[in-house]
């Protein structure tokens, strides 16, 4: 698959997630957290080319995509998205004869110290809240272990890092299933993304929220999202849940709660679904 097509899939996945009404997060329905939809659109536009440059290593993809974003919008809008999408894109580019899941596993187990160094530079540049030191690995210093090993050190408290050591289990075993089931029911990609977001949050605490607030709100968020998942399961028209979505969005944002990690996982899920569909043709 050529780089232009991969960049198109990446941009589409990011736009689908913005079109999805994700309570607490930024979408076309509700901005917040000092970020706008235009910030996210600009971010995916400028990050697509370096992310899909076949000449870049995995770590270089992550760094140069993050740098392009920072230069364009001046804040961390999509570091998590880049961290999750880069290995998927690299997998398609370098292991075309394997299934996406098999290819991704190869990418992750073959990460290098150089990949870790480039990624540390990206994290340092983006300065995401709560990140910076991972036990004996400081992102402002040179790495001494591979990128996968560095992610392993954070995997107990960061859901994105966990994907690097679980071969994206959350995405392949839950996210893609949720997306495919919902899309087959409604034929709407953005509503399928809402289902993914709700299912992820109903089962797993959001790392972004817990970095800021600990587990104080985790049970409440999970309860809300189980209610949303249950409603989505029984409606024939997902538009019927919009009043509930607005209600949840107001509650979450009034408390400063942004399930950003789950939103990032939603983008990666949509991209995975796009790539798997394309590779099967």
pTM for this entry: 0.94
Domain of 157, in residue numbers? 3-279
Q: Where are the alpha helices (DSSP H) in the chain?
A: 3-19, 37-51, 58-73, 79-94, 100-109, 113-126, 147-154, 159-166, 169, 176-186, 189-203, 207-213, 218-234, 242-254, 260-279
**What pLDDT shows up at residue 135?**
44
**What pLDDT shows up at residue 74?**
86
**What pLDDT shows up at residue 130?**
42
For residue 80, what is the domain's CATH number?
Answer: 1.10.4200.10
Q: Tens of pLDDT along 189-218?
A: 999 999 999 999 999 999 999 999 999 999
**What pLDDT shows up at residue 137?**
53
Across all residues in the chain, what is the average pLDDT? 93
Which residues lie closer than 8 Å to 131 by C-beta, 6 or more apart? 123, 139, 158, 211
Q: Tens of pLDDT along 80-100?
A: 999 999 999 999 999 999 999
SS3 133: strand
Domains contained in the chain, number: 1
């Amino acid at each position: 698959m050529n780089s232009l097509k991969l960049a198109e899939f990446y941009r589409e996945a990011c736009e689908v997630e913005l079109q999805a009404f994700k309570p607490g997060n930024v979408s076309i329905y509700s901005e917040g957290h000092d970020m706008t939809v235009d910030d996210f659109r600009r971010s995916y536009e400028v990050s697509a080319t370096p992310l899909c440059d076949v000449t870049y290593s995995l770590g270089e993809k992550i760094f140069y995509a993050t740098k392009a974003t920072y230069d364009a919008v001046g804040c961390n809008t999509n570091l998590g998205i880049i961290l999750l999408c880069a290995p998927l894109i690299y997998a398609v580019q370098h292991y075309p004869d394997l299934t996406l899941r098999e290819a991704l596993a190869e990418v992750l187990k073959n990460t290098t110290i150089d990949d870790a160094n480039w990624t540390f530079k990206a994290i340092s540049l983006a300065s995401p809240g709560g990140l910076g030191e991972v036990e004996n690995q400081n992102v402002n210093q040179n790495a001494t272990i591979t990128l996968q090993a560095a992610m392993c050190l954070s995997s107990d408290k960061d859901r994105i890092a966990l994907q690097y050591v679980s071969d994206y289990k959350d995405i392949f075993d839950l996210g893609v299933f949720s997306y495919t089931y919902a899309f087959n029911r409604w034929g709407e990609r953005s509503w399928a993304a809402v289902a993914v977001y709700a299912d992820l949050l109903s089962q797993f605490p959001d790392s972004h929220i817990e970095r800021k607030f600990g587990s104080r709100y985790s049970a409440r968020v999970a309860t809300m999202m189980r209610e949303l998942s249950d409603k989505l399961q029984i409606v024939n028209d997902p538009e019927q849940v919009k009043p509930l979505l607005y209600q949840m969005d107001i509650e979450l944002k009034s408390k400063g709660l942004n399930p950003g990690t789950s939103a990032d996982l939603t983008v990666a899920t949509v991209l995975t679904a796009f790539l798997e569909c394309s590779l099967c043709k």
